[in-house]
Amino acid sequence: MQALDLPDHGVKTKHGAAGITVFDPVRRRWVALTPEEWVRQHVINHLVHDLGCPASLLAVETKLVLNGMTKRADIVLYDRTGTPLALVECKAPGVTVGQATFEQAARYNVIFKVRYLLVTNGSKHYCCAVDHQRGSVDFLTALPSFERMEAGSTP
């Protein structure tokens, strides 16, 4: 798999009858190793190991219904009260993260109403803080630590 611009915390992979799989510590199971899954697992590790997000407050491929269609959010981070706090949309390393990716994350955020959005392909990362009351979006250089996100502050 391609090297990413994310810390390497030792994503676990194995070869089996179904091909190469990767262990997802949030879903607690082995899943097919696709380029997008490679990015997702590195982001999960970054959230847990570098930003202090409790793995128990992460959800992967969370179902949502938008305009009558079932979709899946890649990663949703909840605060300690169970309120969605951050939404992460992952793309494969070869996929350009552009306006369409932001629009996808923004559509999902109509449902989740999170404060923080991150879109990434593992090499390019774009993060913003959403103020739903003011209707404003501020781009950030990176996601804040879990502690700062819970406090509602930026890096």
4 part of a folded domain: no
CATH code for position 142? 3.90.1570.30
Question: In percent, how much of the chain has pLDDT > 70?
Answer: 98
**Residue 26 domain boundaries:** 13-151
Between CA 140 and CA 154 the distance in angstroms is 8
Tokens of 151: 């406090």
Indicate whether 91 belongs to any domain. yes
pLDDT in tens, 40-98: 999 999 999 999 999 999 999 999 988 888 999 999 999 999 999 999 999 999 899 98
* pLDDT in the model for residue 34: 94
- Does residue 140 lie in a domain region? yes
Residue 40 lies in a domain: yes
Q: Global pTM?
A: 0.92
The encoded tokens of residue 46 equal 């970054």
Q: Report the run of H or E that residue 109 belongs to, with start and end.
A: helix 99-112
pLDDT for 135 beyond 70: yes
pLDDT at site 24: 94
Mean pLDDT of the chain: 91
More confident residue, 155 or 35: 35
Q: Report yes or no on 133 lying in a domain.
A: yes
pLDDT at residue 155, as a whole number? 57
Q: Which residues face 126 on adjacent strands?
A: 119
Strand ranges (E), the chain: 13-16, 19-24, 29-32, 58-66, 69-78, 84-90, 116-120, 125-131, 136-140
In a domain, 81, yes or no: yes
Average pLDDT over residues 9-13: 88
Instruction: Residue 93: name the closest of 66, 62, 72, 124 by CA.
Output: 124
Query: 2: pLDDT confidence band, cut at 50, 70 and 90?
Result: confident
3 is a domain residue: no
Number of structural domains found in the chain: 1
> Does 6 map to a domain?
no
